[in-house]
Amino acid sequence: MAGRIWKFLASVRLTIYLLFGVALNLGVGALYLKFYPQVFRPLNKMAFGEWFSAYSSSHSWWLFTLLLLLLLLGINTGACTFERIVELWGKRKEYSRRRFFLYLTPSLVHLFFLVALAGHALSLFAVHHKEFPFRQGDKLDLPSLTIAIKKLQPEFWEHPLIVHPLRQCTVAMDIQAADSIVSKEIRFLHPFWFQGWSFHLDANPKAKPIQYILLVKKDPGTRWILLGGVGLSLLMLWYFVEIRKNKKE
Amino acid sequence: MSIAAISLISFYLAFGGYLATIFSCLLKKERVAEVFFVVGFISHTVSQITRAWYLGFFFPNPMVNEISFLPWCLAALGLGLRLWKKEVWPRTLIPVFFFSLITMLSPKGILPPFPKNQTFLSPLFFGSEVFAHACFILGSWFAIFYLRKKEGCRIFNDLVIWGFVFFSVSQIVGALWAYLGWGSPFHWSDRHLGSAGLWCYYAAYLHLSFVARWDLRRRAWVAILGFFLIVAFSWDYQFTEFRQMIGG
């Protein structure tokens, strides 16, 4: 019985059904997000638990089916990968080192996919997100930090066609922690990290005057998402190039 | 003459080149068709490059905007096929012409710059994503020919696989960009969910080759269906951006 369950969980057929199912579910979700942004956009600013108690409604069914399908996909991928690695490991002496690595690569790609998937789960359930609209001279209070905005220096494009010409902005700030004051500078696309928090500059260039916002995040999943994604993409790229070369040979 | 005018005129020349290629093919003048196609592609390349100076300063994003960059990618793939698989390359002409026609009829101009697209990650993301779309679209086009038992069209499978590789690269570049700019590599938005859905769809396609009953013929149908998903999830987004265009 256990063997049959394992065989079912590790089957490629199940992978295919699950991937098509997730794709369809994501498509439905995209439509819900398009038509009910007020229900789902807050997920970008809070953890799933918080969102669930504040916004969940009958429109949220697709989110639960998506989580279930992704959980099954994670289990299926793990089982499939484990089975393949065990099989390959037994035959490792039959291949050259390079060929063995080539055959192992799809399994590594799947492992990186699992890393990225786990990162998404962590992000969804354990993210801390805070937003602080600010002006020069403001003091922003975080649980264990106080941020004083010292200088705000925007740069603009000078072109008549650009209606919202904000180009860049440099914000200098002093961060007061328990026992020290640290000076930091932040710009668009140039975040900084401090005591486990990441700080990002955001703005609403359409507002008059322009509204600057400090995004402060603690997201334990980010590094896993990025690591998984980079590993998966690079290995896949290498694998298909190698396979193509081998075919030619 | 302004750079914007040069960009527009060179695109019209490219369109004329592609049109002349089709007529030459119909008249069975293959060599002439190839010359027109190359001339069209060179003009198209000039048009794409000059789009980066549309506002008078260098801003690379308009070079890789889907509306104009997609037909360029299709034409580039067509040229590649001309070099490696000569017998099938004329089949790429219809998609190149069709998407060039869409570019021709679309509002001219570019999307304005904003503080968060001032990084190489932004054009890299759009460029690789559009190139992936071009591979998927050409893949679905060749899948139609494969179902009609035309020779050499098994290549649709390779095109979809390479599309998937480029799409995966684009998604991770996009995630890095989103993280630096917005603090999170993934956002709950219709755009991000649509892209993730497309990725899962083509990941499923890749796995089909491991199941015996999913032979190449059945996979061809999946590749064709993928075209409609790209239109639904990506082109819808592109068209909504028209309202923001400037300088047309």
ipTM, interface predicted TM-score of the complex: 0.94
What residues form DSSP beta bridges with A100? none
Which chain B residue shows the shortest CA-CA distance from A154?
Answer: B115
Cβ pair A33:B193 closer than 8 A: yes
Q: Check: pTM over 0.90? Answer yes or no.
A: yes
Say if residue B164 is exposed, middle or buried (CB neighbours under 10 Å; 0-12, 13-18, 19+): buried
Do A166 and B118 count as a contact with CB atoms less than 8 A apart?
A: no
Tokens of A216: 């402060």
* B chain contacts of residue A167, beta-carbon cutoff 8 Å: 113, 115, 118
Overall number of domains in chain B: 1
What is the pLDDT, as a whole number, of residue B152?
A: 73
Contact status, residue A8 vs residue A14, Cβ threshold 8 Å: yes
A168: nearest CA in chain B? B115
Give the Cα separation of B24 and A233 in Å (integer): 41
Q: How many CB pairs under 8 A join A and B?
A: 153
- The phi and psi torsions of A164 (rounded to 5 degrees) equal -115, 85
Tens place of pLDDT for every residue, chain B, 248 residues?
Answer: 888 899 999 999 999 999 999 999 999 999 999 999 999 999 999 999 999 998 888 999 999 999 999 999 999 999 999 988 778 889 999 999 999 999 999 888 888 899 999 999 999 999 999 999 999 999 999 999 999 987 777 899 999 999 999 999 999 999 999 999 999 999 999 999 999 999 999 999 999 999 988 999 999 999 999 999 999 887 777 777 777 777 76
CB–CB contact B168 A232 (8 Å): yes
Asked if the Cβ–Cβ distance from B204 to A200 is below 8 Å, we say no
Q: Is the CB of A240 less than 8 angstroms away from the CB of B247?
A: no
**Nearest residue in chain B measured CA to CA from A200:** B183
Whether chain B has a CB inside 8 Å of the CB on A226: the answer is yes
Q: Is the dihedral of CA B193, B198, B202, B207 positive or negative?
A: positive
Beta-carbon contacts of residue A81 (< 8 Å; ≥ 6 apart): A107, A110, A111, A114
Tens digit of pLDDT for each residue in A9-43? 999 999 999 999 999 999 999 999 999 999 999 99
Range of the domain at B123: 3-244
